[in-house]
Amino acid sequence: MATRNIKEVAQLARVSVGTVSNVLNRPEIVSPATRERVFEAIKKLGFVRNEVARHLRVGRSRTVGLVVLDVSNPFFVDVAQGAEAVADDHDTMVVLCNSAGDPGRERRHLDQLEQQRVMGILITPVEMETPWLEELAARGTPVVLVDSPATGLQCSVAVDDRLGGQIAGAHLIERGHRRIMFVGGPPSIKQVADRHAGVTSAVAAADGAVELLTSTAPTLTVAEGRAIGERVAALPADERPTAAFCANDMMALGFLQAMASHGLRVPEDLAIIGYDDIDFAAAAAVPLSSVRQPRELLGRTAIDLLLEEVAEPEQHRHRQVIFQPDLVIRESSALRREG
C-alpha cells in the first residue's frame, strides 16, 4: 500500500534527498554517522528504491530481453540459462519472451521490450528477413541474433546448421540407409532450411545412390513429429524410408512415439536422428542420436557480445560467431545391416 520514497527517508533521517541518494549509490562519500541514520530510516520505513525512476534519470536499464522461438523446447531453456548465468555476474536481469514461432507475437514482444528501453535484445527470429530488427537496432537498442547468422549489421552467434545436417546425413548414409526422410518444419525458419540443405548435400555426395524425401510441418513440436510419424508408419514397408532425420529433438521424440505406437522397431525398421541433443533425448524410449549444439555456450556468448557492445558502443565492431555442431550416436541410429 504505502510505498515510501526517498523524500520520506530524507525527512525521517533529517538529511536532504541528495544525501539519501548518495547513501544508496556511493555510501563511502557519506560520513558514517549520517549513513547510519539513513540506513535506519530506510529500514524503519521499509523503503525500496524505485528502479523505474532511477532508470528514467540514468537512462540505461539493467535488463536484457531474450526472445526465443519456443520456450517449451529445452534447447532454448538451456540457451537462456547460459545467458542468465553471465547476466547474473553483471547485475543484469534476463527476461525471457516466447514468440512461439509466431511473427505477430514476436513483434509484440519486441515492441514491449523497446518501450521498456531494455539494455538490449537477444533473439532467435521467426523469419529470415529481419528488417524490424535492423530498424530497432538503428533506433538504439542493440540486438544480437541467436542461433541465426546476421547480415553484418548486428552481432550474432550461431551453430553451423548446414554442417550439422551434413553430418547427420553422412552418418545415416554410412550406416547403409538409402532412403532417408527429412522431417522438417517451415523452410522460412533459417535453421530448418540450413539443416535441410546440409542433408541434401550429403545425399548429393552419395551420387544418386540415396533418395531423400522431405516433409514439412508448420511447427517444430512433438505433436507435429508424431503426426508425420503416423503418416510414415502407415506407408507400406517398401515405400517407407529406412531413416528419418528430424529438424529437432522435439520432433524426433514425437516421431519415435509414433513408431512405437505402430509397432515399428527403432532402429531396425527405421532409424532416427534428431537435432540439439536436449537432455531428454538420451532418456527417450530408444535413446536418440542427435546433432549436438553447445546450448549454454550459445547463450553465454550472445550476452557477452551484447554487454561488449553496450560497454563501448563507439568502437564496437559487429561480430558473427559460429560454432561447430557434433554428432552424438545413440541407439536410435545404431548399426544397420549393409544393403
Partner DNA sequence: CCGAGTCTTTGAGACGATTCAAAAAAATCT
Partner DNA sequence: AGATTTTTTTGAATCGTCTCAAAGACTCGG
Picked from a second copy, DNA, none, the partner binding residue 25 (CB below 5 to 8 A depending on kind) is DNA
Residues 6+ apart with CB under 8 A from 125: 106, 133, 145, 148, 190
Q: Which is nearer to DNA, 59 or 263 (CB)?
A: 59
Q: Quick check: 223 binds DNA (CB under 7 A)?
A: no
CA gap 276, 76 in Å, rounded: 10
Q: Quick check: 53 binds a second copy (CB under 8 A)?
A: yes
C-alpha distances in Å from residue 287, one per residue of 173, 245, 266, 324: 20, 15, 10, 23
Considering only residues 35-94, where is the footprint of DNA by CB under 7 A? 35, 47, 49-50, 53-54, 56-59
Q: Which is nearer to a second copy, 3 or 188 (CB)?
A: 3
Q: Quick check: 15 binds DNA (CB under 7 A)?
A: yes
Q: Cell 532467435 maps to which residue?
A: 124
CA gap 153, 58 in Å, rounded: 27
**From 253, 272, 306, 321, residue interacting with a second copy (rule: CB under 8 A):** 253
**From 40, 43, 48, 103, residue interacting with a second copy (rule: CB under 8 A):** 48
> At its nearest, how many Å lie between a second copy and the CB of residue 292?
17
Instruction: Give the phi and the psi of residue 10 in degrees, each rounded to 5.
Output: -60, -45
Considering only residues 220-249, where is the footprint of a second copy by CB under 8 A? 222
Q: Which is nearer to a second copy, 110 or 210 (CB)?
A: 110
Which among 133-141, 195-203, 230-238, 302-310 is the span making contact with a second copy, rule CB under 8 A?
A: 133-141
CA gap 165, 185 in Å, rounded: 14
> How would you label 88-119 residue by residue, b for 16+ Cβ within 10 Å and e otherwise?
eeeebbbebbbbbbeeeebeebbeebbeeebb
CA gap 52, 118 in Å, rounded: 12
Q: Quick check: 18 binds DNA (CB under 7 A)?
A: yes
Positions in the binding site for a second copy (CB under 8 A): 1-3, 46, 48-53, 55-56, 61, 71-72, 74, 77-78, 80-81, 84, 93, 95-98, 111-112, 114-117, 135, 138-140, 222, 253-254, 256-257, 279-280, 282-287
